[in-house]
Structure 1
Amino acid sequence: MAVTDEPVMIGVRPGLGPRLIACLISLTELFAAAVVAVEVGVLSIGVIARYVFHAPIVWTDELAQILFVWLSMLGSAIALHRGQHMRMTALVDRFGPSARANCETVALLACVAFMVLMLWPAIDYAHEESFVITPALELPGSIRAAALPVGLVLMVVFALAKVGSIARPRLVTAFCLMAGLTALVWLSRGFFLGLGNLNLVLFFVGLVGVAVFLGVPIAFAFGTAALGYIGLATNSPVLTIAGRMDEGMSHLILLAVPLFVFLGYLMELTGMAKAMVDFLAALLGHVRGGLSYVLIGAMYLVSGISGSKTADMAAVAPSLLPEMRKRGQKSGELVALLAATGAQTETIPPSLVLITIGSVTSVSIAALFTGGLVPAVVLGLFLALVVWWRNRREDLSHISKPPRQDVLRAFLFALPALALPFIIRAAVVEGVATATEVSTIGIAYSVIVGLLIYRRCDWSKFPKMLIDTAALSGAILFIIGAATTVAWCLTQSGFSRDLAKVMASLPGGGPTFMAVSILMFIVLGSVLEGIPALVLFAPLMFPIAKAVGLHEVHYAMVIILAMGMGLFLPPFGVGYYAACAIGRADPAEGIRPLMGYMLALLAGLVVVAFIPWLSIGFL
């Protein structure tokens, strides 16, 4: 997955146009940062009013929801400009330079085509929403819905700025190809109408597959498939897509996404993540494979708070990997374990994956938070067994055990940081606050601890943190919106009903269904990345799981862990390549050691799948 952290204008010639684009980008980032800041402020005010003064303010959630859609679209535009939308480039990267450039051009034009074709339906949808008045603030719904066309316009402008860098012959060829295919497909509309549910295969398997493997961002691949299916194979209005995207991105539970992303950046900025790692290193660094155990434990503590596996790994790796290399660990082994711990910790609350699956399946998030801790411990123990075996002959003659007072000092220094994950989880599980509200508590706690204890809170970095939060959140939420549209298409076509019949009729009942689900989500997690796979298929699979007698929390843990394995499994799992980038290692070096860790994760997953108590024993 190609991800660029810093915004760049690729190949735009000097002149008035580029300066205007740069100004527009700056304004978009400014507004997005302001929306994130106001969002945090509004939700914090609501929490203080409810829990401190016992006087709930009724309009805070309503305003937050309005701002949320704007944050999603502005953040998505910034993510497009930065190249941070999730996409699968494993196949394209194998091509030669010329073929790869052609694929990049087609992928970019496909995104532009989708946004242009969706612009007018989005405007129509915003107009329709003007007749809906919010109950508390008495504002027209068009204020919220207008974020869709505004965001699409910004994305078109930013995409066209990148189009300007493409060589003209290549651009003309790709444009003619795209225009010809679009015209041919539109003229064949009557043909598609007569195919019935075969269109599901053509659009949601064929078109999505081709688009994803050509490097089209996954959100745009989903959106294009839904647009083609609704526009060509049904009589439904195209503005239905805008409505479903709005619904998918504005779910109140998902308000926690940008807040936890921001909280993760705060933990790194204030030094809280480093304090955790330093304590674990002092505690275990002197035993064979000690730093590998520290890596497993550190990822367990940090995971889930940032909202990004890449951010989790980036928070832990800089403190550990250099010392592990000094002790003779090979780079391939390091990134393999780093990737494996990323897959292991997918169920640790307050994971955005848990929040997302709760929002699309109506499973209690508090129950998911409670059920996710033990399965991750089980997989961690299996990883520890592999670490023990591989390091059983490690030479530690040059490593001395630190004095107890040094370990105690590291523990006391890390204690405020170590307390944060437990405070967050306890607050949600005990019903003190919702997943959204507790994120504001975590942010306030991190700021206070960073200022008073760690004293590393560099205020000059806050604007960049706000913009980065908007970009990452926008990329995640745009996928959820597009995947929600695809899920609606599958449901309306009757596919979910047919799938339920097939899966429910599998011989062997629950165990067979569980085994098939594990294989299915490992593949889906690899190809579609994590959240899109869950948003798309979890609503279809959960009713079946319930029908065959599986507990919904137990089933959630199993498919999340399976999806996590796929996310970090080469050759398509983008999480693995993110681990290699963070660990600065050649991906080829880590594949062989990773297989051992993946087998350990699979063994742990089988144990979790067939011992439900591990997931539901503490509910």
Structure 2
Amino acid sequence: MTFLTIAIFFLLLIMGIPIAMVLGIITIIYFLLNGQIMLLDSTPLRMYSSLENFGLLAIPLFMLMGEIMNEGGITARLVQFARVLIGHYKGGLAYVTVVANMFLASILGSANAQAAMMSKVMVPQMEKEGYKREFAASITLASSIIAPIIPPSMIFIIYGTLSSTSIGALFMAGIVPGIIYGLVFIGVISFMGYKQNFPKSERASLKLILKSTIQVLPALLIPITVVVGILMGIFTATESAAVACLIAIIVGLFFYRELDLKKIPKMLISTVTNTATVTYLIIMANIFGWMIAFERIPQLLVDSMLSITESPWVFLLLVNLALLVVGMLLDGIAALIILVPVLMPLVVALNIDPVHFGVIICINLTLGLLTPPVGTGLFIVSSMADVKFETLVKSVFPFIVISFIVLLFLTYIPDLVLFVPKMLGM
């Protein structure tokens, strides 16, 4: 019956049925085929209980914050600030794309949302100043993976909820890896700019730099408040999302005066729709994980993996390679929700720090946004930037390679990830 269930699972995926529905359907089919009718009676309660987690409140709040910042002119000023600072260097607009993504990462926390927004903002501007459209699209897509690494991060919230790991510690652990990725991408652009003679913009005047700095200060209050508030224990990661929303509203209304209150209902509807999509996936993945636990698959996996190796380093290498393949086929959040309950017993058995493992698995699955055939980021940027899918894949390939190399460094030098949480006693 197990093999039949697996076959049906892959058949449903091939048919193009949404992954959330596949998880729920396959769970019900499994219980029916195995005569576990009593478990079906408990399924609704199990679905409801999967949402009884305080940490999940951060998801709609951070989504709402992103909506408010886009409508309130905060996002535009962050991009302009980055451009004024470094736009005059050779390849300056490419650097601006990376740095702006680092700024926005602490606001949107979603690689897909960031890739979509930056494609509309930066790709036309880069093409206008002499960059090839496919390169502009590829650097926009590649640098968007920084979003789920620098706090606040929705994918960290979901991992922390599933693994009972401190979300605050995960947020702090993402700071150094996010900066490393930004610097590495800037290095790649610098090398390519030297080879291809990238264009550069005019140097901004001191007056413009000062003006842009003053304008961006209110916008920077949001990420600073989130990070400092969590560090000082003033509020939890979830509470920080509510505070960030309040600050975004104040900044958009009273500092930049671009937030239109008439658009609030539209922003709320968008937030509710996006939140419902994520929470529906969490619900279905929870009962799917329940089925996996019933089959003792985590325990069997632990036993089989430990029979192959007891080395955490070998295990992490195998996980990275496996997740790279999984990320090519499944959406990152869906894969995370499915795999964390399966892998956490192994993480515990091999004494791997769950915060370190969380950063590794989240980065790895985020790389799936860049990889064909199902990389959602590829489809989004290809559509938004009007670049052929095949052309974009070829152009983004160097960034995929360098991203995986950085991931290996983060995997085997844990202090790069755990330095900040340890320093703060988390």
Q: Which bracket does the TM-score occupy, shorter chain normalised?
A: over 0.9
Is 1:351 aligned with 2:153?
Answer: yes
Q: Distance in 2 between matches of 1:341 and 1:231?
A: 45
**Native 8 Å contact 2:64 2:267 kept in 1:** yes
Identify which of 232, 237, 262 aligns with 2:64.
262
1:220 aligns with 21
**Native 8 Å contact 1:348 1:372 kept in 2:** yes
Instruction: Report % sequence identity.
Output: 27
Q: CA deviation at 1:508?
A: 6.1
Q: Distance in 1 between matches of 2:200 and 2:420?
A: 44
Q: CA deviation at 1:290?
A: 1.4
1:335 aligns with 137
Q: CA deviation at 1:307?
A: 4.8
Q: Distance in 2 between matches of 1:441 and 1:215?
A: 39
- Between 1:481-490 and 1:572-581, the stretch displaced more is 572-581
The amino acid across from 1:444 in the alignment is L
Rate the CA distance shift 1:425–1:453 in 2: closer, same or farther, 3 A.
same
Q: Distance in 2 between matches of 1:528 and 1:239?
A: 30
- Between 1:318-327 and 1:284-293, the stretch displaced more is 318-327
Q: CA deviation at 1:398?
A: 7.1
1:63 aligns with none
Identify which of 118, 123, 129 aligns with 1:321.
123
Q: Distance in 1 between matches of 2:303 and 2:358?
A: 20
Identify which of 448, 465, 477 aligns with 2:267.
465
Q: CA deviation at 1:547?
A: 2.0
Gaps of 5+ in 2: 422-426
The amino acid across from 1:297 in the alignment is V
Q: 5 Å matches for 1:291-306?
A: 291-303=93-105, 305-306=107-108
**Native 8 Å contact 1:288 1:394 kept in 2:** no
1:387 aligns with 189
Rate the CA distance shift 1:286–1:375 in 2: closer, same or farther, 3 A.
same
The amino acid across from 1:212 in the alignment is L
1:514 aligns with 316
Runs of 4+ in 1 over 4 A off after TM superposition: 393-398
**Native 8 Å contact 1:368 1:553 kept in 2:** yes
Report the TM-score, using the length of structure 1 for normalisation: 0.65
Q: Distance in 2 between matches of 1:226 and 1:537?
A: 15
Q: Distance in 2 between matches of 1:417 and 1:398?
A: 26
**Native 8 Å contact 2:123 2:140 kept in 1:** no
Rate the CA distance shift 1:395–1:307 in 2: closer, same or farther, 3 A.
closer
Report the TM-score, using the length of structure 2 for normalisation: 0.94
Q: Which structure has the larger Rg over C-alpha atoms?
A: 1
Q: Distance in 2 between matches of 1:565 and 1:397?
A: 29
**Native 8 Å contact 2:109 2:148 kept in 1:** no
1:131 aligns with none
How many residues in Structure 1 have an aligned counterpart in Structure 2?
Answer: 420
**Native 8 Å contact 1:344 1:601 kept in 2:** no
Q: Distance in 1 between matches of 2:39 and 2:243?
A: 43
**Native 8 Å contact 1:367 1:429 kept in 2:** no
Q: 5 Å matches for 1:336-485?
A: 336-393=138-195, 395=197, 399-485=201-287
The amino acid across from 1:580 in the alignment is S
1:541 aligns with 343
**Native 8 Å contact 1:277 1:316 kept in 2:** no
**Native 8 Å contact 2:159 2:340 kept in 1:** yes
Is 1:207 aligned with 2:8?
Answer: yes
The amino acid across from 1:231 in the alignment is L
Is 1:617 aligned with 2:419?
Answer: yes
> Which protein, 1 or 2, shows the higher relative CO under an 8 Å CA cutoff with sep ≥ 6?
2
The amino acid across from 1:537 in the alignment is L
Tell me how large the CA RMSD over aligned residues is: 1.8
Q: Distance in 2 between matches of 1:555 and 1:278?
A: 35
Rate the CA distance shift 1:589–1:560 in 2: closer, same or farther, 3 A.
same
Q: Distance in 2 between matches of 1:604 and 1:505?
A: 29
